[in-house]
Structure 1
Amino acid sequence: MFDIVIIGAGIVGLAIARSIAEKTDKSVLVIEKEESFGRGISSRNSEVIHSGIYYEPESLKAKYCSRGRDMTYAFCNQHNIWVNRCGKIVMGKLHQTNDLEALHKNAQKNGVPDIRLLEPKEINALEPNIEADIGLQVGCTGIVSAHDLMAAFYKISQEGDHDYLFKSKVVGADSKSDGYEISIENAQGELEKVLAEWVINAAGLESDMVAQMLGGDYPTLRYSKGCYYKLSSKWRGAFNHLVYPLPDKKHGSLGIHLSFDESQMVKLGPSAHWIQDRTEDYDVEENLLDQFFTEGHRYIPDLKKEDLSPDFAGIRPKIWLNENPMSDFYISHEEGKGFPGWINLIGIESPGLTSAIAIGEDVASWII
């Protein structure tokens, strides 16, 4: 019998485990279907610390992104994790002025600090290799080593004597008088069962299916696949800020943007298209080259097609509500649905990396 079972060892599951370890000595089992932590959504993204400019005021995404942003910078500084508060520029053409101004107003409503509208001369001074008519500078955006951040959470969790079960998949869940019985298919294909007083469903791409094991009405997910293309080494160190177009509302994404890593290597992405059958396909389609070149060339005038090559792909678990691809997180202690001690976290896509520490603190506080 464990006090707590956490399903999923991605950035959010690890952040919850870390917060529990720092606050209590309760016994914890973390179940992960991959061979190690952070192999899914958490390691296949732009590694951006988001500012909170995009999200509906009062939404969970706005709340957790704003809190989590500052907490992530502080945690990284405390634990010597590589982070770069480089800022970003959201840029557009003249006909997009109203959209950019609306984004600026939304950022103000969300209390995002260090933002200002830019004119072409200012954009050129900040980023000589970028061409745009209008821009919004966001100074509190940054990039982080997602792996190092997760490794730090994992270390703290292990120091709290938490148990980890890798290569193991949750295949069933039953409510019992004293908690929940979780059925697990282990690495050898054998069925195991564990009991827990609390269950935290942070299963990422499969979080809706895990929730539905108990019965009841929960959000369902739709997969949005995003591919990245890297720029050749001649572009290394050519940019000082992350560079974004205006959001792609049709696919619920932030558009094909420019980012870089600790080595200053530059990538474009992600693209966004729906996966109909919910398969975890991480192949990067080479036929996307023309799309990436077209999108990138709009704001990088000297970009050549031969500068681009396939890099990696990721999948976002998006809640699909009323045909709205820009839906919010679903984070709920399901006591009101008759399942006390069961917490669901469904549709934790971007800004999940930024929000993780803040989400972890709140979920831990519900238990302790």
Structure 2
Amino acid sequence: MRLSEFIVHNVDRIVDEWEQFAETITPAAESMNSLALRDHAKEILLAASRDMNTAQTASEQQAKAEGEGPETSPALDEAAASHGELRHTVGFDLVQMTSEFRHLRACVIRLWVASIDTPALSHMQDMIRFNEAIDQALAESTAAYAEQVSRSRDIFLAILGHDLRAPLQAVSMSTEMLERKARLDADAQTYVRAIKTGARHMGAMVNDLLEFVRSRLGSSLPIEPKAMDLALACQVALDEACAGQPDCAPTLHVEGDVQGHWDPRRLGQMLQNLIGNALQHGARRGKVTLTLSGDGDEVTLRVHNLGQPIAEDAIATLFDPLVRSPSEDISQPGTSTSLGLGLFIIKEVVDAHQGRIDVISTEAEGTTFTVVLPRNVKAV
């Protein structure tokens, strides 16, 4: 009997063995009934059997083995993906879930080989096709499981970021009340200022974290454009970034009309991260230069600093989330976040304003981030 036919005739027996094995995966299996343990096993097996009976050329087989072939078995993919999602939901870890497929493969081959009297070349082909189908199902289940893990992590981070806002606000309000109502000596005032600065930096980190999670969960960055002067926003951001840093020596050059319709809060967030990045990675006591120029329907911002250039192989992933430069020192002044989200947030803000961003970094010329924004942006 060919393997595909054997699977169809013995599917219930195979699924029984699947269930018996799944029942040993504790502690998750301890609270699962028979239906949950069996899950999509029957659908996966029957879809694998149909896939094995589908005509396949040598080139198609090679492409499938490399994961590049056309989608020929959507039912198998769907059943396997659903299995991966549900196994994550009930508490299986990834190793436990993949062990089910290892057991399934071994069970089917063991039972089928025991039923064969005289092995033939066609049986070898059947085994190849069966292994292809199981590998495909395993890949789909693993991908779906990993996606659920990623989503769960993002939701956890969103809850964490949201819940951190309240205690941070309490710290900020308490320092404000201390300054207004208590008589503080010089040392105490220094401590209060340090607390305020720390709370402000933590608030920026929480905001960056929430923006990152929002984008990961599939929500675009919302903006509320208003008429604003970008030069004024740059000056405010420079003053705030350099507060308490005696060595900070920024300059701002403005050319032409730099007014437009943008989201003031989002651009403030972008400017703080750009300036903080330049201060952090710039040469000590070096200058940070902001240049604004308005031309037609666009306004261009350039942020320049001298110092160690960005490695050429790092530029490709510079705006990726949770990626930090190997040379990054979070103890240096001007660090807006230690999560590796600053440049990611900058890119998100620029994209939300339908703009573009570029970076050029050389040892001789320093590093320049260039942001080009349409002058009038619509809300999204």
Q: Same fold by TM (over 0.5)?
A: no
TM-score by length of 2: 0.20
Q: Work out which of the two has the higher radius of gyration on C-alpha atoms and give 1 or 2.
A: 2
Task: Kindly indicate whether structure 1 or structure 2 has the higher relative contact order, using CA contacts under 8 Å at least 6 residues apart.
Answer: 1
Q: Quick check: which one's helix share is greater?
A: 2
TM-score by length of 1: 0.20
Q: Quick check: which one's strand share is greater?
A: 1
